[in-house]
Amino acid sequence: MARSPTVNIQVSQFRTNKQQELLKLLNDNSVRKEINTIIKDVLNNFVPYDEGALRRSALVTHKSITWGRNLGHAHYQYEGQVYGPNIPVIKNGEIVRWVSPPGKKKYPTGRRLRYSTPGTQDHWDEAFKGPVKLATNQEITRYLKRLCKERGLKA
């Protein structure tokens, strides 16, 4: 079976124990989706960017974030390596880009992709750490506590 060209990240891996506790108390999938939207906005800073199609493709649900629906390159961007076979496209005697034949199985070549936008990288979910993760988790926890208070729940 072919690997899906999309990148699907289960967001529960990013939640703290306190957030899990508050989410259980709230018991509201729309709140989970809102939190995942916050995380998607942070992760999008690490998603490779050329024309922005990959970032715009992000689909948020209460369980996950998926990038690359209707795009053929999301998985390759996430893996961070060139897949082949590769055929050069030549204009005026110079290689302007490389393409792989459609319908043919692609294999990793071992060559790393080069990302043109500073701060972007492969495995962008793994970039969610350190100060970025701490600040985002603090924002999410404050949001959840505020919702609990508004709904009269003991947080």
59-111: pLDDT as tens digits: 999 999 999 988 878 888 999 988 888 888 899 999 888 788 888 888 888 88
Query: What are residue 10's DSSP bridge partners?
Result: 64
Rounded to the nearest angstrom, the gap between the alpha carbon of residue 135 and the centroid of all alpha carbons in its chain is 18
Confidence band for 48, pLDDT divided at 50, 70 and 90: very high
**pLDDT at residue 124, rounded to an integer:** 92
d(CA 33, CA 47): 20
